[in-house]
Amino acid sequence: MSVSYSLRGAIAGSALGLALGLVSTSALADSQAILEGERFHPEVSTRGMVATSHFLASEVAREVLANGGNAVDAAVTAGFALAVTQPRSGNIGGGGFMLISDENSDEVIAIDYREKAPKAAYETMFQDDNGDAVAELSRYTHNAAGVPGTVAGLALALERYGAMSLAETLAPAIKLAEEGFAVPQRFVDGIDSASERFEPWEASRAKFFKEDGSRYQVGDIYRQPDLAATLKRIAEQGPREFYEGETAELIAAEMERHDGLMTLEDLASYEATVREPVHGSYRGHDVYAMSPPSSGGAHIVQILNILEDDDIGELGFNSARTIHLMAEAMKRAYADRSQYLGDTDFVEVPLAGLTSEEYAAELRSDIAADQATPSADIAPGNPLPYESNETTHFSIADGNGLAVSNTYTINFSYGSGIVVDGAGFLLNNEMDDFSAKPGVPNAYGLIGGEANKIEPEKRMLSSMTPTIVKRDGKNYLITGSPGGSRIITTTLQVLMNVIDHDMNIQAAVSMPRIHHQWLPDEIRIEQGVSPDTLDLLESMGHTVNQQEAMGAAQSILIEDGVFYGGADPRRSTSSAMGL
């Protein structure tokens, strides 16, 4: 078995540097000349594939598949393992979304385990006496946390589609928490960057610093006894332990000590739910992605619909014309996001209109071939009729037609920074994903409106976009990404790289990305795009802002019974493993 490990750091300064620097270990042994399309080498298997953001999670999920478990068993195992090995984003204190595709029943379902606002939440809770939004309140306090959904969501997936018990899927995570693991550089860097957020909270300091207050160094063994005890209780008593047992009592006590709104009643009433995914088509492929309260599926389909009439492959990967058209489509989708998207249990979302080809044609007619439309001239459209930054994604597929795409989060890197005393896990700060005040941007610069205002027991809007593409009824591409507002556009570009530009999956997740979210009116772009292309975009009227890398799209491509895994090099611990 060869393991695809990515190199640490940002995208290389040139496309060639990127291509040569981010190959899998199996590719390094290949001495043949580099041919077009062969600069990036995915992990390959004929029996199944796992792609996660941490090699230890990939290892335990791969073992599940090797021992006869299915893709859902492996996904739940990976989800709990990431809660131990990647506390900055893997979690049991947050929430997310999972897509499951079963070729045998021709069924694709979406599990919504997004966090909910507590029952005592109210629309102006993050505003001051003058009615102004106060960012610190929705990000770094106990009231920044929504009721967590991860344990309920993973357990629901296992109950519906798994073959293993919850205790069996939790066993590797419990072992990793008890016995510990050697911390990598990314772990050390993450703790350093978030250390000021941990300082006010005794439980946070105890979890992330050594007993003498010093920091962990690369290679140190990191153990989490409180988290291990929490996971053991869930394994022994079932998922409701988290919501009604000792763990729930620890959460409620933590809230009570710090004037938090979340109560035992909030926890006891939480349930994950099954939804119908958004479905669209693109160049003969069926695209399934997460439905509201995620905005991702609606807007991926919307953008693809806008672009389908253009021959993107002929225009060329990251050419000025291709980037221009993508940016114009992205602007219009994010403008609509600001007005129409929210929790469909509370508001009507014009999903059929947003994803219709007729609406896409209307939007497309306003896009000039060689001139940018200022965002100030773009308003949310009329899509009738009605009907984050630190997140982690993993993709898993087995040899029996089952595929899982899962994205979950605690919002910021390390969430609120607050660890539940005695329970060993971080509280999310997902309440910041609501509109603290309509028209005021959140931490990712996303504008929200009335549809995403704070209401009791409402799920906050998300950009998380687990996605499964099918071709001729078979699972074809399993993908998704972290990245806050850039999740949608990152996932979109993986799809386009495969379908339009015929890239293998490792190339598709490795190549430089672009992003436009309507406001601010700029194309955010990674290094690796030609300066001549940037000049051409600016001559069209675009503002180009080159910034750090975006997303981490752990992905799988399946063709002719062969599984290809692509580990995104933007996460130094990412790995793809085949059976």
Cα–Cα distances in angstroms (integers) from residue 559 to residues 45, 287, 562, in the given order? 11, 16, 5
Are 504 and 557 within 8 A, CB to CB?
Answer: yes
Task: Encode 347-376 in three state secondary structure.
Answer: CCCCHHHHCCHHHHHHHHCCCCCCCCCCHH
At 569 the three-state DSSP class reads: coil
pLDDT of residue 384: 61
pLDDT value at position 87? 95
Residue type, 29: A
Q: What is the DSSP string of 114-151?
A: --B--TT--TTTTB-TTS-B-GGGGTSSGGGPPBP-HH
**SS3 state of residue 99:** strand
Q: What is the pLDDT of residue 267?
A: 98
Q: Which are the contacts of 365, defined by CB distance < 8 A and separation ≥ 6?
A: none
pLDDT at residue 447 in the model: 67
pLDDT of 9 reads 29
CB 395 within 8 A of CB 478: yes
Specify the pLDDT at position 208: 98
Answer positive or negative: Cα dihedral of 457, 461, 464, 466.
positive
CA nearest 55: which of 578, 579, 576?
576
| 56: its two tokens | 């230890």
The DSSP line for 208-273 is HS-TTSPPP-TT-EE--HHHHHHHHHHHHH-THHHHHSHHHHHHHHHHHHTT----HHHHHT---E
Retrieve residue 61's tokens: 């999920």
Q: Is 100 in contact with 157 (CB distance < 8 Å)?
A: yes
**Greatest pairwise CA separation for the chain in angstroms:** 68
Q: Which residues contact 50 (CB under 8 A, 6 or more apart)?
A: 58, 61, 62, 65, 74, 78, 394, 395, 396, 565, 576, 577, 578
Confidence at residue 381, expressed as pLDDT on a 0 to 100 scale: 84
Residue 112 is given by DSSP the state E
What does pTM read for this prediction? 0.92
Catalytic center residues: 391
Number of neighbouring beta carbons within 10 Å of residue 258: 12
Give me the residue label for tokens 């975009």.
537
Cα torsion for 136, 138, 143, 147, to the nearest 10°?
-150
All domains in the chain, ordered by first residue: 4-22+279-374+384-389+463-578 (3.60.20.40), 53-272+406-430 (no CATH)
CB atoms within 10 A of CB 126: 26
pLDDT value at position 13? 29
DSSP-derived letter for residue 435 is: B
Residue 222 contacts by C-beta under 8 Å, 6 or more apart in sequence? 180, 181, 182, 183, 187, 216
Q: List per-residue pLDDT tens for the chain, 579 residues long.
A: 333 322 222 223 223 222 222 233 333 333 334 344 556 899 999 999 999 999 999 999 999 999 999 999 999 999 999 999 999 999 999 999 999 999 999 999 999 999 999 999 999 999 999 999 999 999 999 999 999 999 999 999 999 999 999 999 999 999 999 999 999 999 999 999 999 999 999 999 999 999 999 999 999 999 999 999 999 999 999 999 999 999 999 999 999 999 999 999 999 999 999 999 999 999 999 999 999 999 999 999 999 999 999 999 999 999 999 999 999 999 999 999 989 999 999 999 999 999 999 999 999 999 999 999 999 999 888 886 543 457 999 999 999 999 999 999 999 999 999 999 999 999 999 999 998 887 777 666 666 678 999 999 999 999 999 999 999 999 999 999 999 889 999 999 999 999 999 999 999 999 999 999 999 999 999 999 999 999 999 999 999 999 889 999 999 999 999 999 999 999 999 999 999
